[in-house]
Structure 1
Amino acid sequence: MHAVSLPARRTLALVLLSLSGWVWAQNPPETALRGTKRFRKRVVTSRLAGPWEITWGPDNMLWVTERTGKRIIRVDPATGARRTAITLQDVSAPGGQDGLLGLALHPELLKGTGNDFVYAAYTSEDRAKGPDPTATGRKNRYRYLYMRVVRFTYDAARERLSNPTPLLTGLPAGDDHNAGRLKFGPDRKLYLTLGDQGHNQFGNFCLPIESQRLPTQAEVAAKDYSAYAGKTLRINLDGSIPADNPRLAGAVSHVYTYGHRNPQGLSFAPDGTLYSSEHGPKSDDEVNILKPGANYGWPHIAGFRDDKAYVYARWAQASTPCSQLQYNDFEIPESVPREPESAFREAIAEPVATLFTVPSGFNFQSPACKGFDFICWPTVGIGSLEYYESNGGGIPGWDRALLVTALKRGSLYVLPLRAGGQAVEGPIYRYFHSENRYRDVEAGPDRKTIYIATDPGGVAESLDGGVTSSMQDPGAILEFTYEGEGGTSDASETAAIRPAAGPLPATPRRAETAGAPPQFTAQQTASGKAAYQSRCAVCHGTTLTNGTYGTPLAGEYFHKKWSGKTVGALLEKSKTMPPSSPSSLSGRIYADIVAYILEANGATAGQNKLPASGPALNQMTIP
């Protein structure tokens, strides 16, 4: 998949632009308006290990999953006190988008009916299932990684979850785009989102996207769920397939909708309308209404079928063997087939809104981004969404809206809905702008209090329009209480909304420390490059500067942060990676990866190897 500069095509007839709601559904980032309502911010709790799902429970507690902490906890919203309901030892979280993810509470929990059930979706090693054929290499940490849905029983007296009962196992999981949002529907079914596994990009660019592939009846009978990637599933409470699920390509399976990229948001309205959100490639994060059996277009289409700033590049089908190609996020080799969105003629369900759409010719490599292009892209990084109604006593003006959390932009976007909830009506508003990654959102029962979970780390837009990896409220649950109209809408009294592109914050130049130049061999850089591409590229990008989660490891950003520091400091920092499994590689592999990074930043290979430890490391200075 690629967002590229294409010749501008003829503008749609002006009459289309006059249609109510459409103009707000497909606009560039600068059309989002700064919110004018006033909120009071409070940190409920912090230092959580990757809070991923927050949901209000019938016990008036916030139920939370910790992605890397592997715990389901209950948080008192008044005091921040935490109670661990269960720690799941079988959760496996080797990377940045796996671990303990979705959570759903049975609507009869604590109602005395005996249905005191809690459901969770998480990744786990399943050696009985056998290796994932796409995870090659005997030492690959994702070789036996699969998603599963498990039911637990809650004991109110002990305040503990127990009796784990697997309902559905062997679902696709990998090192990227796992999705994993889980909801309990009004039809008493479970709904689960699964991503496209990050195929066709970064370290997985030679693997085809299978969001359009539908399972056969033979695969369903064999419990081969490999075709479930890029789908939304509808599941009976015992894990079986609902008899009224849509028949697709001649088979009835768990698949409810298909054609998705990385759908991390899922929320029901009281009337049963199911809203979903998913990450776009470089533009067009999507907000959708899910309908049974519908195709949402990915990877042929990102956002609307408008041929704007996106073409589908099929790297796995290159005439040159894919293994011989170097992935590039902006330039497609001649040997790689590609197609515009208009070439895909099958019926699709288009989004109710995109965040955001830009015309062909948009510069996705603006010099203003200082090598960190991801921050300048028009996407916001939708972490989740929540349907909101004020119910007459909540936040004025938010009578019917979607609350959308932004990871990259550190904001809450409010999308007003037309009566009936089938379309966005009026401008999109931006609230609570901060240097955070907003992961999930939940409205309190008073409808005037909004709770937001934040990531413990990563990268986000800084308040001056650049990029930061220092989070303002890492791993926290924040409370925003409505106080009235007028005043700032931001979390920290910041300036008004700016365009996506902007310079990096000014950083005082560090006095360089005199020291010996780095020493490493060409063999180490070759080994380090291979290790980097298989273990690090999914977060930091294949070019060391095009990552969408980790900070750049080359170019101006890297030099400002590391020039003049010792190689030993860089090596020690590398050993904290990946965040979910620090020091999980051998010292030799970490040293080889550092050698590759050093060469990419101008250092020259020589005859002496870079040691994995020892005092010599602190005598070498990064140029």
Structure 2
Amino acid sequence: MKNLTSICALLACTALVGPSVAQSPDSYVTGAKQFTQSVVITGLANPWEITLGPDGMLWTTERTGKRISRIDPTTGEQHVAITIDEISAPGGQDGLMGLALHPELGQGTGNDYVYAAYSYVDEEKGADPQVTDASSPYHMLYTKIIRLSYNEADGTLSDPVDLITGLPASNDHNSGRLKFGPDNTLYYTLGDQGNNQGANVCLPIEAQRLPTADEIAAKDYVAYVGKSLRLNLDGSIPEDNPELDGVQSHVFTYGHRNMQGIAFGPDGTLYATEHGPKTDDEVNILTSGGNYGWPNVAGLNDDKAYEHANWELAANPPCAETTFSEYAIPDNVPHEPESAFTEPMVDPIATMFTVDTGWNFVVPDCKGTDFICWPTVGITSVEYYQGGDDRIPGWDKVLLAPTLKRGSIYVLPLDENGQAVDGTVERYFQTNNRYRDVAVSADGKTIYIATDATGLAENTEGGTTSELANPGEIIAYTYAGEGDPSAVPPPNEQSLRGQG
């Protein structure tokens, strides 16, 4: 491991205060816990998942590198377990994504299995009906989840078995987080494919659409977008999955935008983090059959700074002849406030961040790259952290949430029952990076963070940057003690300039 020692006070550790689940971006105060920083490994091809294995190694997927590796957190030595040539990664949100380890891996029970999710070209399934350009790399791009067998003797993975194939894939919002549940099933997240915005503006968001019995019988998973899935270990539908609109499928929850993080607490609570549009990244607790509101609601159903615009239904002129805007909805585009949505839905336990209607989302410092300076932070994952003796003091029950846009970890304290965010939310490790995933050492003292190799992030000096400080690395932050809050400079939160 290459040592690059620094103290968190120099890395803009900040905190936000308030018991409300709807946090605003102006509630920052400084924090003072101290950490040393070091680099475990460099040169990774977009590490996407890092999981501490029973062997003490960081099991890592590389989204564009197509590799699953075991990385020694002490020396940084990388042991490639498998390279999967079938993986196709034409864009910025596809490729090799989620990874889950069987809890009996390496215990001699015969369950030395590793599960992975990735995008691939499926010529047998044929064209995605939403991709009409036959020359597009997404024309026949889908997602699959596989099971691999681990050979402990030589540290390799082999014998791939398809568990489910033909899941949707897109150039945007694939989500892709995979976890092994305490109920011996697999959980997977699928985003809304980035529809109804940007290049996909004329495609409908179908996060509220539920699969039909005919679709499930035909293994047509088109309606799985904007959902979380729950699968048996052989890929089949668990018999106790929820029945939604009269149909039982792999769908566990629905109404999601881009849920890139899921993690289980010790009592089985399933926490999730989700990208919002311009406001309202969400922290949720997933419950069987729950509807989380998207695209009709972002965050809470509060009519604040968000309306659902159905761009694909534009008329006179139609969507294809209408100029898309993030900031103004034309008269020919149907739209409605959040309060028009009256279906039962599950509220988030926190939002990051909520602002009032009328907020100015165009921040001059961002020089046209406005999305970096919006109140959302781009939460990419979530990790449950349990305190105790010789661990980080004050973090008794918290969620660790890494972010892309802010290059930070947010620490969200939970109440005694772990069912609500309660107390001071801290911000740590702010750097010019895009944080992709987080893992914690066995002793609870070190936080490992995987970073994107490329992309845009907020610049700690103001504005945006594509010059990342630690591209394609795993960084280690090790707790070094408490500090003096008065010695930490106040944060410079440029998204606040939208108030003007």
Normalised to the residue count of structure 2, the TM-score between the two structures is: 0.94
Offset, 1:466: 1.4
Q: How does 1:162-181 map to 2 (within 5 A)?
A: 162-181=158-177
Offset, 1:502: 8.1
Residue number among 329, 332, 335 corresponding to 2:332 in the alignment: 335
Residue number among 469, 479, 497 corresponding to 2:491 in the alignment: 497
Offset, 1:257: 0.1
**Equivalent residue for 1:135?**
131
Offset, 1:93: 0.2
Letter in 1 for 2:449: I
Give secondary structure in 1 for the equivalent of 2:126. coil
Q: Distance in 1 between matches of 2:327 and 2:434?
A: 26
Q: How does 1:180-199 map to 2 (within 5 A)?
A: 180-199=176-195
Q: Is the 8 A contact 2:213 2:247 kept in 1?
A: yes
**Equivalent residue for 1:530?**
none
Letter in 1 for 2:238: P
Tell me: higher relative CO, structure 1 or 2? Use CA pairs within 8 A at least 6 residues apart.
Answer: 2
**Equivalent residue for 2:410?**
413
Offset, 1:171: 0.4
Q: Distance in 2 between matches of 1:246 and 1:33?
A: 42
Q: Is the 8 A contact 1:257 1:290 kept in 2?
A: yes
Q: How does 1:70-219 map to 2 (within 5 A)?
A: 70-219=66-215
Offset, 1:494: 8.4
Q: Deviations over 1:539-570 (max 9, x none)?
A: xxxxxxxxxxxxxxxxxxxxxxxxxxxxxxxx
Offset, 1:285: 0.4
Give the unaligned 5+ runs of structure 2: 1-16
**Equivalent residue for 2:43?**
47
* 1:482 and 2:479 aligned: yes
Q: Distance in 2 between matches of 1:385 and 1:220?
A: 30
Q: Is the 8 A contact 1:24 1:428 kept in 2?
A: no
- The higher radius of gyration belongs to 1
Give secondary structure in 1 for the equivalent of 2:214. helix
Offset, 1:29: 1.5
Give secondary structure in 2 for the equivalent of 1:339. strand
Offset, 1:28: 1.2
Q: Is the 8 A contact 1:33 1:430 kept in 2?
A: no
Residue number among 288, 300, 306 corresponding to 1:310 in the alignment: 306
Q: How does 1:191-590 map to 2 (within 5 A)?
A: 191-319=187-315, 320-486=317-483, 495-501=489-495
Offset, 1:87: 0.1
Q: Is the 8 A contact 2:279 2:376 kept in 1?
A: yes
Q: CA RMSD in A?
A: 1.5
Give the unaligned 5+ runs of structure 1: 1-20, 504-623
Q: Is the 8 A contact 2:365 2:462 kept in 1?
A: no
Q: Deviations over 1:135-186 (max 9, x none)?
A: 1111011011001000000001111000000000000101000000000000
Letter in 1 for 2:149: T
Letter in 2 for 1:501: S
* 1:57 and 2:68 aligned: no
Letter in 1 for 2:490: A
Q: Distance in 2 between matches of 1:252 and 1:225?
A: 13
Offset, 1:383: 1.0
Q: Distance in 2 between matches of 1:99 and 1:93?
A: 4
Identity of aligned residues (%): 59
Matched positions, count = 480
Q: Distance in 2 between matches of 1:324 and 1:233?
A: 36
Q: Is the 8 A contact 2:405 2:458 kept in 1?
A: yes
Letter in 1 for 2:152: A
Offset, 1:218: 1.0
Q: Would you tell me which structure has more helix in proportion to its own residues?
A: 1
Q: Is the 8 A contact 1:369 1:502 kept in 2?
A: no
**Equivalent residue for 2:3?**
none
Offset, 1:501: 3.2
Offset, 1:190: 0.1
